[in-house]
Structure 1
Amino acid sequence: MVIGRFSKKKITIKAYLEIKEDLKNKSKKQSGSITELSLSKEEREIINTIKEQTKMFNLNNVTRTKAYYDFFIQYPEIHWALLGHMVSRNGGWHMTDLKGDLFNRLLTEKEQRHFFLFLERGNWLIFQDVYPQCLLYQQSLHVKKNLFYLLPYFGVSLFMETIWNYFWENGDCYLLAIAMVINEQSYLEKRVIQNPHFKKTVLNTIGFKLYDFLRFNHIIFPFIKKGKSKKISLIGETLQHFDSLHERIMLGKRLYSLLFQQEPVLQGVLLWADKHPHSGSRKDYWHHLFHHVNESLPGSIYKRRTKQCQLKKSAHRIYSPPLQFAWENVEQQEAEQGDWFDDWRIIDYLMEEEIYKGGEIYDEYCKTIEKIELAIIAKKAIFLRQE
């Protein structure tokens, strides 16, 4: 697959200064500018169509994840669409983990519900912010005209208007992708991470601290190695300090590097993703270890099943349900108003890092599963002693 019609360029000082100047100018006149724009009939139709399409695909994690992938296949120059697809797959797996064999035994039903609503809100918010940007790009190509002046009508940050304008003229795939990482994480900061409700029900709870302690917060990219069509390999990163905007942005940059700066990984991810539509079940990538049907007897005592990500003899696979069987669709409230962009120095994150050569996660991921199993057994032992 050709990755894109645009080349990847290293941001220059000239480009940096150009973006900086445009952002500073936009900051000075952002108040009230949107109401002064007179829209044509065609522009209103474009806005309404994009809003309808976004709403149609923003039903749940599975529909969003598929929409990202389909868009990338059509427009591979929009690298973030594939990165967003793979990260959104992980979001779905974390949602269904809450109803699977492991965390279902560690968290109460109330905690599971709170965790899911937290993950779902973030997943929903990102899609309703980023997908209209993608569709507006699609429409701009269709009419052969820059339409990014319409971004404010979708509540998109002035930061992204500047970036899309720059991309339209210069075709810098890397800069656009990292800018989208910056935008989406900044967009979530006040709406989810600093939201008092989610702080109380999730982020400040013992359950979340346990989740963080057990380190089951890996972002993994399954891929097929060339010449080993049946062997599913993993590459990825672990998110630390979830409440740090800086750490989340840097994680996004590292994940981008893993995905787009190693050609065998990129082609292997695309091959795997094409063969395995997202369901929300971890069976999608490791059917030898996970299963979408619960093979255990109801009420049975949990025993160690895994060692180095292999099942022990005669052990049942770990139950990992598809999203549709784990959670119903959620009717979301409208996104909170307001532009997160208030400091042009955020563009420092656009500066390219050295190629990241990490990503080894197999052993750590396997140890994490084993730690969770031990935690389940320990919790049960404590409960029995109390009885």
Structure 2
Amino acid sequence: MFFFKKKKKTEPLSRHLHDIKRKLKKVLLDTCTLKIEDLSREDKAIVEQITKITKMLNINNVTRTQAYLDFYLRYPEIHWAFLGHAVSRNGGWNMTDLKGDLLSRLMSEEKQEEFFEFLERGNWLIFQDAFPQFLLYAESIRQGRSLFYLLPCMGISRFMEVIWDDFWQRRDSYILAMAQVVNEQSYLEARMIQNPFYKEKIFQTLEFFLQDLLSFNQILFPSRKGEKASLTGMTIHQFGSLHERIILGRRLYHLLFKDRKQHKEILAWCISRAHTGSRKDYWPHIFNDVNEGLPGPLQIRRLKNCRLIKGSPKLYSPQLEHAWPNMKHRPAEPGDWFDDSGVVVYLKEKEEPVNGKITGDYCETLQNLELAVLAKKTVFI
């Protein structure tokens, strides 16, 4: 059983959320779990087909990211699919940064591989949990009936069975999206964040603190405005905090969906720029997926005020397929994180100021990283 920290103060809930909470409490008391061997032949076939398709698309960050977008374009009422796509793009950029011009000079090859495994495992885990939910929704639409009782047979939390049934009846896209934020981050908590291996190799290493100090855990949403993409986004400094990650998810959702014009601009960019994992995808004036620089240590600065100094080669940002091979994953760890109906407070919609101005911070991050590379050829081994 995975434990969820209760919030100190309870918040008033709407009648709708009270109803969801009542159903969640009922689920917690129900010890009878549907098993795949109990299913009809038709239901078994549905589960097997969904598992097959999910595995086929869960090859690497590029295939996952595209699958999220393709699904959102077919079912735009499922907002998390677009949020998942946009955040997954950032996951790919973080993976290729490990082999790019800056971080690769601060980290040994062993550490690069450890960080890649961490990022890739998290990306893989979320997809194999989230995408079967999407495919089951699509099949429910096709058949015209709710099939969400099959979710536990695919290892999906009982929490999401309640939420999907509620969405099927009430079509509240915000509640569904926020529930999926809670679900995916809680799903990762025990498997990744609290995992002793990753605690030692990732969270307790100087590299992680360096990235946190330099705000290199920024999430960027490029948008289509002329030739040069504009950036919207946010930074998270407390990645190890489940609560902070959920709040970040809510704020990122606001950036993507609360301003209709901004939503259209970000979506238009995503549709027009296939995800490769290279940061050249959004800023080709600074990054290139071909290495223009000379081998060896970085000798002089290339960036000033987020522009390349005249005559400087662009920063190398490789495509994912050239940076990392596909990774074979061990099966996801079993278990349901859901043990507290109090998590429903996260589904309450809040109006909070989220401006998403990130370009200045991101430019400062790039320049700080470049200075760190110049200061020390290899900081971490």
TM-score by length of 1: 0.93
* Corresponding position of 2:70: 70
* Corresponding position of 1:80: 80
* Corresponding position of 1:24: 25
d(CA) in 2 for partners of 1:128, 1:309: 37
d(CA) in 2 for partners of 1:101, 1:342: 44
* Corresponding position of 1:256: 253
* Corresponding position of 1:6: none
d(CA) in 2 for partners of 1:175, 1:382: 45
d(CA) in 1 for partners of 2:322, 2:90: 17
Name the CA shift for 1:36/1:304 in 2 (closer, same or farther; >3 Å): closer
d(CA) in 2 for partners of 1:299, 1:222: 32
* Corresponding position of 1:298: 295
CA contact (8 A) 1:294 1:319 kept: yes
| CA deviation map 1:152-190 (0-9, x unaligned) | 011100110000000000000011001100000000000
Is residue 241 of structure 1 aligned with residue 242 of structure 2?
no
d(CA) in 2 for partners of 1:122, 1:144: 33
CA contact (8 A) 1:61 1:92 kept: yes
SS in 1 for 2:349: coil
Name the CA shift for 1:154/1:302 in 2 (closer, same or farther; >3 Å): farther
Is residue 232 of structure 1 aligned with residue 223 of structure 2?
no
d(CA) in 2 for partners of 1:105, 1:279: 22
In the TM superposition, what is the alpha-carbon distance from 1:381 to its structure 2 partner? 9.7
Is residue 285 of structure 1 aligned with residue 286 of structure 2?
no
d(CA) in 2 for partners of 1:146, 1:307: 56
Deviation >2 Å, runs of 4+? 35-38, 380-383
Q: CA RMSD in A?
A: 1.6
Q: 2:289 corresponds to which letter in structure 1?
A: H
* Corresponding position of 2:321: 324
Name the CA shift for 1:381/1:91 in 2 (closer, same or farther; >3 Å): closer
Q: 1:263 corresponds to which letter in structure 2?
A: R
* Corresponding position of 1:124: 124
Matched residue count: 369
Q: Which of 1 and 2 has higher RCO (CA within 8 Å, sep 6+)?
A: 2
d(CA) in 1 for partners of 2:282, 2:315: 13
| CA deviation map 1:277-324 (0-9, x unaligned) | 000000000000000000011125332111222111101000000000
d(CA) in 2 for partners of 1:307, 1:353: 39
* Corresponding position of 1:4: none
d(CA) in 1 for partners of 2:162, 2:194: 26
In the TM superposition, what is the alpha-carbon distance from 1:34 to its structure 2 partner? 1.7
Is residue 266 of structure 1 aligned with residue 267 of structure 2?
no
Which of the residues 332, 341, 344 maps onto 2:341? 344
In the TM superposition, what is the alpha-carbon distance from 1:358 to its structure 2 partner? 1.6
List aligned pairs for 1:47-66, cutoff 5 A. Answer: 47-66=47-66
Name the CA shift for 1:189/1:127 in 2 (closer, same or farther; >3 Å): same
* Corresponding position of 1:7: none
d(CA) in 2 for partners of 1:275, 1:302: 36
TM-score by length of 2: 0.94
SS in 1 for 2:67: helix
d(CA) in 2 for partners of 1:108, 1:306: 24
In the TM superposition, what is the alpha-carbon distance from 1:215 to its structure 2 partner? 1.2
d(CA) in 2 for partners of 1:41, 1:180: 29
* Corresponding position of 1:180: 180
d(CA) in 2 for partners of 1:313, 1:165: 58
CA contact (8 A) 1:155 1:337 kept: yes
* Corresponding position of 1:195: 195
In the TM superposition, what is the alpha-carbon distance from 1:38 to its structure 2 partner? 3.1
Q: 1:253 corresponds to which letter in structure 2?
A: R
**Structure 1 unmatched runs, 5+:** 1-10
Q: 2:257 corresponds to which letter in structure 1?
A: F
CA contact (8 A) 2:72 2:81 kept: yes
Name the CA shift for 1:164/1:311 in 2 (closer, same or farther; >3 Å): same
* Corresponding position of 1:95: 95
**Structure 2 unmatched runs, 5+:** 1-11
Query: Identity over the aligned pairs, expressed in percent?
Result: 52
d(CA) in 2 for partners of 1:182, 1:349: 7
| CA deviation map 1:138-157 (0-9, x unaligned) | 00000000000000011100
Q: 1:169 corresponds to which letter in structure 2?
A: Q
